[in-house]
Each structure stands twice: as structure tokens, then as C-alpha cells.
Chain A
Amino acid sequence: MNIMNKLESIKNHDLTALENINNYIKIIDKNNSKINAFLDINEEEAIKTAENIDQKIKNGEQTGDLAGLVIAIKSNINVEDFKISAASKTLETYNGSFDATVIQRIKKEDGIIVGMTNMDEFAAGSSTETSYFGQTENPAAPGRIPGGSSGGSAAAIAAKMCDLSLGSDTGGSIRNPASHCGVIGFKPTYGLVSRQGLLDLAMSFDQIGPFANDTSGIALMMDAIAGFDERECTTIEWDVPQFKDINENSQNLLKGIKVGIVEQFMEVSDDHIVNIIEGSIDKMVEMGAELVELSFDHIDLCLPTYYLINYVEFFSATRKYDGRKYGYKIEDVCGEEVLRRIHMGSYISQKEYSGKYYKKALQARSLIRNEMKKLLRDVDVIAGPTVPKLPHKLGKSLDTMDMYAYDVLTVIANLAGIPAASMPSGEVKGIPVGLQIQAKPLEDEKIIHLMKVMESMD
């Protein structure tokens, strides 16, 4: 039963919201101590919400488009009265005092928020190992990292602890753990979803997006959260399509769809990953897609450009954690990676260097953005691997550059502001491999459509 079907059964009262939440609470209670997907859970409140929704349905009242679905939220998105720790010691005891715009919209659609998920500290990582509250286990590949930084949200979906979850994606933080955990993760076009209430990593890259086990769930969540927010200046005033209609009406065909394959995206990836991805691409061809070979010359520029901008914006964003208002001064208690980014950001943004590093990085970013636009001009989507290598084993320590290497294929979408998703493509020795699909800005629905078709072939 996919999420759309489940929503219908709840609305028909074939399944009650209370039964739905109770099932998940059972699984969470049983498995969370091992998986560590959730950092904060409020079962009582979730049950109360479920009962209210059931009552509404019983009374024949209108209910929202997420009615009774159980949702987990990454710990860097403000939800009133939950712990918004960003998995840091700095905000260890910080409680949300307001709802992020996405949360307001979820609540309006009668979604049930069950808890807050684990992540890399302040989202600065790709493994969820840097959480102050301990690492998260990969439910799909036990003993390995779940990826990150939204590792808890991906693991919660993979471990069937909720219907839907939200993550944030700055350089791949949704798609990377989706790939490693074998679930779907979607990063919308920059500006499609309001960031009001999202704790900053790098403001010009950050975007909130959903995780789910099937495309209908992604579509339902996107319908709830996407769209202009008059209280967030970077959101786009745009007539957002109904994603669930695209999902429903997708004729299971890719006829006339042009799929770009970028040579360099394959070259940087491990062979066994490329093999799996090629299998997915073959399926697209079977369904009528036309392949277009593309070349992207700036792949070496992507990581340095991304990280320089990330450092500077993160440095700026963390100045409020000065030890006066929130628990601890960030530099005094943070992990190695967060400290590295703050120090680098502070160093690069100095007056004497700004021309040398930061401005150059901004120039490189426009170059990459333009190049991606050019590549996308003649195709509907670009398909390829999400992550170039498989997740490492928990406990294995990687040096910084090896860690950053996970991100080479995902940062491009953030640099260019384009939509991108990861969906399960296959497995290498039981370890999930994700297929990344990227599209032009505001053509998010093309990704939903393609995923829906691909999903129907399984």
C-alpha cells in the first residue's frame, strides 16, 4: 500500500489515524534505541492529534491532505515545543518556540508530527556520525553509515518508523542519505519551499525536502509544503503544480522524454555503482526515453566552490551562538567539522582575502550554474548516480577530503539551484545505490513523473 492509498484508507476510516500512529510508536519504541533515528519523540501529543483527526473524519468534517500520516522532522527545523538541537551541544536544551512555515503547512493538512530526527551537527556532514547525540545506524545496510546530514530522517523511513519525513539539503543532505538508506529523497528547486524556521547551514544552498518510501508520498508532502511564503524572501512567487496529480496521472511511459547522461558523473563513480545506474537507465530506454550524452567540464570546480561558500555562510549563520542566549558558545563545544567550517569561513571572509577566495567562489558558482543550465537546455532530466561511492562502515574514520568526496555529485544541484532527487536504483552486496535525477529550475514535476514511472516497473 503506497502512501496515497494509505491516506485514502484513513479518510475512509478503513484504517484509523490512531492505528497508524500506534503501529509506528510500537516500531519506534522497539528499534529506535538501536537505530537512533529519533532524538526527540512526543508520543502523547501525536496520539492526541490522531484522535482528533479520527474524530473529524467520523463527524464527516473536511480533513487535510496529510490526514493521519505520521511524519518525522529533522532536528534543524523549528517545531514548537520540540527539541531543536541541530544535533549539537550548543542547542542541547533549545526548544522550538515557533513553527517553521513547512510545519504550519503540515499541521494545516492534518499531518501527525511524531518526533525530531538525528543529523550531523548543524547539518555539517555527510554521515550523521558528527551528531552530539551519537551516530545513526543504516537500517538498509546494518553496520554502515546512513549518510547525511539528514541521516535520521532517511533511516526513519527505511526502518518504517513513519510515513514521511523532512530533511534539509545543502549539498546533498537529503539525497545522500536517501541513496545510502534505499529510500526516496527529494530536494526541490531553490525557493520552492520556504526556509522560514530552518536552521542555517549555508543559506543560499539550503532547501527543505521530503523523504518517503514511494513517489506518492513525496508528491503529497510537496503539495503540502511547496509554494510562496510572504515571510521568506527567497521563495518564488509561482503557480505550483499539483504534484499528486502528476503522480496519479503519469501514464507509465517515458515516451518523448530526453534523459541526459553526463560522462563525468559516471567517471567519478565506483564501477559497481555505475553498473547499477546503467541498469536503471536501460529501464528508462525500455519505457521510451531518449538518451542524450552530455559532458560537464567543471566537475573539479564543484567541491571547492561549494565548500568555500558553505564555510563563509555557515560562519555568518553561527555568530548568534555566542554563548549569551543559547546554552554554549558554539566554538567551545562543537565538533571538529563544525569548528573547521567556522574557522575557514572566518578566515576566508576576512577583508584581505575576500577577493581571493569568496568572490572567486561566487564567480565559479555562476559558471557552474550557467553550465548546468546549458546542459539541461536540450534534455528533460539528467540521470546518474547520487553518490559516487558506497557508505563506509560505522566507526571507520575518514579524512576530510574523503568525507567531502561523497558530495561531488550532489553539490551541483545546490550550486545551480535546480531540483534533484534520489531514488533506489539497486543494491551492491545488499547496500542500496541511489539514482539521482536532476531537472531545470521549477521543473520539479518532471522528476516526480520519472520517478513514478520507474517505480511502476519494480
Chain B
Amino acid sequence: MKCGLEIHVQLETDSKLFCTCHTNYQEASPNTNICFVCLNQPGAKPYPPNQKAMEGAIKIALMLGCKISDDVTYFMRKHYNYPDLSSGYQRTSIPIGFEGDLNGIRIREVHIEEDPGQYKPDMGIVDFNRSGIPLIEIVTEPDINSPEEARIFLRELIRVLEYSGNARGEGTMRADVNISLEGGKRVEIKNINSIKGAYKALKFEMVRQKNLIKRGVTIKQETRAFLESQMITVSMRLKEEAEDYRYIPDPDLPPMMAQEDQIQIIKEKMPEPPHIKTQRFVEQYGIEKEHAKVITSELELADAFEEVAKKVNPAFAALWMRDELKRVIYYNKMTFAQSGITSSQITELLKMIENKEITTKAAQRIIEKMPNNPSTPKQIAEELGLIGVIEDEGIIKAVKQVIDDNPKAVDDYKNGKKESLNYLVGQVMRLTRGKAEPAKTVELLKQYI
């Protein structure tokens, strides 16, 4: 199968694309973030396009490896009749970037659009708070070969958008996917609102079309809608009924020239895209690709890693940041940036382990206390009494005592009950208050039993 995607995500701006209304449409009461421009009242004309949105779109296009049009950019009017569209047309720019690439999937174009309002048919109302919020649309070539690939691509794309700092996340995503199986025509699926939805829609559609082909039915070109509640697609219209949008250049918005120096400034300020950063981490730090992927999942985390890796063995740092740090921020339901943990705190903690000032077990407890805590790891360790690693003699003493005190567990272990060893390790830890190295403890227990 071949599949291409058209993904819309809202751009992160304070004001709308063609007026000064605020973009916090979800928090505001219905129809409060509106003015005559975004309502397109008779006589209203768009203000000049929001520069932050235009720059954000250029930045995202660049991060997706696109060429930037050095010709004029202008907006087209795409006409259609729907209650959420206050002017009867949607303003959509010609491509700002084109011929990009994300992990081998070619990006055909990137352009900017305005969001319509929200029609709520069940209540018979339209909320125009969303009307005029800038959207970025990313169109891929049909280079995707499975629902799984589509899911991986979309996750990676959302990561790029998050890195850019100019787009809102998956929550504002709307996607159209097109799919064609060998021997069949192109089918477009609309109304997809999440990565999971895209995956499910493609999966359903693939099976549906395969079954039809098996029965000798030819697949006609058509547009289908994804019903999220049932995870199925239903026909909307055949090709013959395709809408004609009667595109014309918007006479109210004169053509704009992308400025070479403006693009240069964006290029300089632009973060390294995550898919390229992942590759670099593997090469530069010699860490595993899976670790690199997790660490680059968040720009701030990746930046912190690079700081830590200056002073601590990168492989050791990668392992800790991927497993322990991620565990703690995941448990606290926060991002790394929100955790307030700094790279110097991490460096200090890992140094303490490397210098055998604390055990790994103790470090795990310390890191749990680190989110939004101004204390240094050392201070936390002191507070919890975790400083120090008990050397072999101390552990041997504890091991002997535990063996003496727990004859039943020892017997169980001897009789093949491996879990009993864990219990005994736990007892040693209790006695040493966690200052014994777990690996060493296991070794010694086995030796003395």
C-alpha cells in the first residue's frame, strides 16, 4: 500500500492570523474571542498576516528540510459552504516550503491556513472563537507503506513541531490520509484527529479494501470519513461529486516576499530537529539509538544530556537519563522542563555514583526527590542519610547476620526457590540502610550460603 498524509496543526501564537483576537479559544466562553475581522462581517478586511505565524511556518518548513520559496507568497481563497466558515471561503497560502524530508518520507509542501469556527450540530450553534487561528498544513508524498509507518511518522512529526516551539501539539491535530492499494484508486479519509486515529483508520481501510479486491471489486476514487467512535470509515463522496473550491488569489492580501535575511535569522535561531539530533547523538556519543530517541523526545532533556555528557561518561548518563530520570518525570506526570531538574543536578548525582559516594539504590531514591527541589543531590542525600557506600567487610557482616536470622529463606533458596534470594537481598539492604551495592550483595550472599 501507498499512503500520503495531510496534517494540520495549530500554530502557537497569541493572536489570530488576520486580527488581534486572542487564540485561547478553548478556555474562553463561546463567541467571546471574536471581532468583525474573524467573523468576516460585511466590509471587514483582514489585517496583515501575523508575522509570528509566518515565521513559525518557515521555521517548521526548514526543520523538515524544505526549500523555502524565494518567490512571492500569497493567500488563496478556498470556497466552500459550511456553517463554521464565516466568509464562505478559507484563506490558505501557497506553499511556503516544499521538497522536504522526514526520516525518508518526502514532504511535498508546507503551507499556512486559517482555522474555521467550530460547528456543534447537536446544539445547532457555531462557536467562532477558533475562527482565524493560524494552522500549518504539512503534505507528504505517498511514501508511507503501512499503518505502523504512518504512526511512526506522525509521532516523529509531532516531535519536530514540539521542538519548533511554534506549534501546538497533537491535541490540535487534524489529518487527512490518502491510501491506495495495488490495483485500486486513491481513497482519501478525512476527519482524523489523533495519531491513534490515523493508525486505526488506515488499518481499517487496508482490510476493507483488501477484502473488496479479493471479491473482485474495483476500488473507486472516493472521499471517506473516519468515525472515531466506531473506528471505521464511511463513504462521503465519489470523485465525480468532488467539490470545486474555485480557488482565487485573495485580493485583500497583496503578495509578500520572503526576505532572505529573515530566513537567515530563522535558520540561526532554529533548533536542530529531533530526528537529526537522534542520529548525531548515536554518532557523537556512541550511545544506543533507542536511548538517543528517548533522550531527544524533549528538546530540554536533550540539551541537558549534552551538558551532562561533558562531565560524565555519555553511555552511563544516557542510561540513567533514559531509565531513572524518565521514570521519575513520567511518574510525576510532567515534562523534563516542568520538573525543574537541571543538568548540573544530574551531573552531580551521577558523579556521586561514579565516585562511589552513594549506591545506585540510594541514587534512585535521591532522584525521586529532585523534581522542583532547589536542594542539590548531595543535600538530599544527607537529609535522607544516604551518603556512603558500605565496603565489603560491612556487607559481609550484614550478609552473615541475615543468613543466620533467616534459616527458612536460606533453605528455600537451596531447594531451588530463586525468589528467596531477593528477600535476603532486601534484608541486607535494610540492615545497611541501602548503602550496600546490590550487585555486590547478591554475589556475597551466593558465596556464603
Contacts and interface: CB of A to CB of B under 8 A. Distances in A.
A91 B246 contact: no
Contact of B43 (A198, A231, A324): A198
A324 B48 CA distance: 27
Interface in A57-101: 76-78, 84, 86, 91, 94, 97-98, 100
Nearest to A204: B251
B45 A196 contact: yes
A29 interface: no
B89 interface: yes
Interface string B51-90: 0000000000000000000000000010101010011110
Interface string A313-329: 10110111010111000
Contacts of A76: 43
Interface residues of B, number: 27
A322 B42 contact: no
Contact of B42 (A94, A233, A358): A94
A316 B86 contact: no
B36 A319 contact: no
Contact of B254 (A94, A231, A234, A349): A234
Interface string B87-107: 111000000000000000000
Interface residues of A, number: 41
Contact of B252 (A199, A203, A230, A346): A203
B260 interface: no
A231 B42 contact: no
Contacts of B247: 351, 354
Contacts of A78: 42-43
Given A233-B252, A233-B253, A326 B36 contact: no
A324 B88 CA distance: 11
A313 B77 CA distance: 10
Contacts, number: 85
A232 interface: yes
A202 B250 CA distance: 11
A244 interface: no
B42 A91 contact: yes
Contacts of A319: 79, 81, 87-89
Given A198-B43, A233-B45, A349 B246 contact: yes
Interface string A188-215: 0000000111111011100000000000
Contacts of B227: none
B17 to A, nearest CB: 12
A98 B244 contact: no
B269 to A, nearest CB: 26
A448 B253 CA distance: 29
Contact of B45 (A204, A231, A313, A346): A231
Contacts of B77: 316
A394 B60 CA distance: 61
B248 interface: yes
Interface in B235-294: 244-248, 251-254
Contacts of B79: 316, 319
Given A98-B36, A233-B252, A319-B81, A326 B244 contact: no
> Which of A84, A319, A354 has the largest count of B CB atoms less than 10 A from its CB?
A319
A435 B276 CA distance: 69
A187 B249 CA distance: 24
Given A97-B41, A233-B47, A233-B48, A350 B36 contact: no
A160 to B, nearest CB: 29
Nearest to B253: A233
B40 interface: yes
B88 to A, nearest CB: 2
Contacts of A202: 251
B44 interface: yes
> Which of B47, B248, B251, B254 has the largest count of A CB atoms less than 10 A from its CB?
B251
A423 B88 CA distance: 39
B91 to A, nearest CB: 11
Interface string A389-404: 0000000000000000
A319 B85 CA distance: 10
Interface of B: 36, 40-48, 77, 79, 81, 83, 86-89, 244-248, 251-254
24 contacts: A77-B43, A78-B43, A86-B42, A91-B42, A94-B42, A97-B41, A199-B42, A203-B252, A204-B251, A230-B47, A232-B45, A232-B47, A316-B88, A316-B89, A318-B88, A320-B42, A320-B86, A320-B87, A322-B81, A324-B83, A346-B246, A349-B246, A354-B247, A358-B248
Given A233-B47, A319-B81, A326-B42, 8 more contacts: A78-B43, A94-B42, A98-B44, A197-B45, A200-B43, A203-B251, A346-B246, A349-B246
Interface of A: 76-78, 84, 86, 91, 94, 97-98, 100, 195-200, 202-204, 230-234, 312-313, 315-316, 318-320, 322, 324-326, 346, 349-351, 354, 358
